């Protein structure tokens, strides 16, 4: 049994002073760590902006509204991010729309219905998806998934083409190199992240809340609806935004799956094209001229800002749910 410190002991003041110094050192170290992250982010943003400004000044079209991205001739550079932004957002949001309900269903099954052995098996199986390299997902998406999705895509396009999201896009529906296919591949890729976080949040639901609902005669679904889902709402939002951030920055899989197009994107799931990340990766071998490289850096800066906006919205939504 530990002995309580005695203020009358001769070395009590010395030990107390040493403890205060240790606390102060630890506080300063943690503060410096936090500040270093902020400084690093600011420096990255400043570097991207500094590299992008000369190219933006040499741009002969509107950077925000143009679909062109031709930077080979530094005397006649024409590059814009409209199509890149549309394809990036459409593919990522479509993936999120698919992945979140599935992830919540898996998390609820693992935490509320399955026995411990089955829960560990399913949890481990889903977590293993996170270890699969992106290039494998890309090859699976274009060689295995795309041919099987083609009849579904053609059916949706034929019967629901009157709706803007399902209208004929800038590439052929056959072959599967569309946002529709890329979004499903991204959904599989972000599923482990969303599931893992949501599962842990649901596990933290206070047992007193669950037992109180059961004592009132609530069914299993009513217990989940009244206790588990409200408690895990903010965590689910945070998990979804983590998954969205992963989808926004995915490069190799999207580069393999999406078919390029010379026509700008039109807010259809059956469009092709490039996301910000895949466009930059596809042109890595062209980074020789500073002005040409700066055009891609400008696109990267927009993606950098976009991820910050997504995280800011997530924090605001999650914070509002918690306070509510």
Confidence (pTM)? 0.85
Q: Is a pLDDT exceeding 70 seen at residue 16?
A: no
Percentage of the chain modeled with pLDDT above 90: 25
User: What pLDDT sits at residue 14?
Assistant: 58
- How many angstroms separate the CA atoms of 102 and 97, rounded? 9
User: What pLDDT sits at residue 1?
Assistant: 47
Phi, psi of 7 (to 5 degrees): -60, -15
pLDDT in tens, 68-102: 888 877 788 888 899 999 999 999 999 999 999 99
Residue of 69, 140, 41 lying closest to 292 (CA atoms): 69
- How many angstroms separate the CA atoms of 119 and 80, rounded? 48
Q: For residue 302, name the pLDDT band (cuts at 50, 70, 90).
A: very high
Contact between 275 and 203 under an 8 Å Cβ cutoff? The reply is no
Residue of 302, 172, 320 lying closest to 249 (CA atoms): 302
SS3 78: strand
- How many angstroms separate the CA atoms of 229 and 103, rounded? 13
**Structural domains in the chain?**
81-323 (1.10.3720.10)
Compute CA distances 87 → 204, 258, 260, 271, 282, whole Å. Answer: 37, 10, 11, 8, 15
């Amino acid at each position: 049994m530990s002995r309580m410190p005695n203020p009358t002991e001769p070395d009590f003041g010395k030990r107390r002073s040493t403890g205060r110094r240790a606390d102060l050192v630890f506080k300063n170290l943690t503060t410096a760590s936090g500040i270093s992250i902020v400084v690093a982010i600011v420096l990255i943003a400043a570097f991207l902006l500094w590299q992008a400004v000369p190219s933006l000044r040499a741009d002969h079209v509107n950077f925000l509204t143009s679909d062109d991205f031709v930077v080979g001739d530094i005397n006649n550079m024409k590059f814009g991010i409209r199509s890149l932004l549309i394809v990036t957002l459409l593919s990522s949001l479509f993936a999120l729309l698919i992945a979140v309900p599935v992830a919540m269903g898996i998390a609820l099954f693992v935490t509320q219905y399955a026995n411990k052995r089955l829960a560990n098996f399913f949890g481990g199986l889903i977590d293993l998806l996170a270890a699969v390299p992106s290039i494998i997902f890309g090859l699976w998406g274009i060689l295995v998934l795309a041919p099987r999705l083609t009849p579904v895509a053609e059916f949706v396009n034929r019967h629901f083409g009157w709706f803007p999201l399902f209208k004929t896009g800038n590439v052929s529906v056959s072959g599967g190199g569309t946002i529709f296919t890329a979004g499903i591949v991204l959904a599989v890729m972000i599923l482990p992240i969303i599931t893992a976080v949501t599962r842990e949040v649901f596990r933290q639901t206070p047992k007193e809340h669950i037992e109180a609902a059961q004592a009132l005669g609530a069914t299993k679904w009513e217990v989940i609806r009244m206790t588990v889902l409200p408690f895990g709402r903010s965590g689910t939002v945070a998990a979804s935004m983590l998954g969205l951030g992963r989808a926004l920055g995915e490069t190799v899989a999207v580069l393999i799956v999406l078919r390029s197009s010379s026509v700008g994107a039109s807010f259809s799931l059956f469009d092709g094209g490039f996301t910000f990340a895949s466009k930059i990766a596809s042109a890595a071998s062209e980074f020789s001229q500073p002005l040409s490289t700066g055009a891609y850096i400008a696109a990267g800066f927009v993606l950098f800002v976009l991820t910050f906006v997504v995280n800011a919205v997530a924090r605001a939504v999650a914070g509002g749910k918690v306070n509510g």
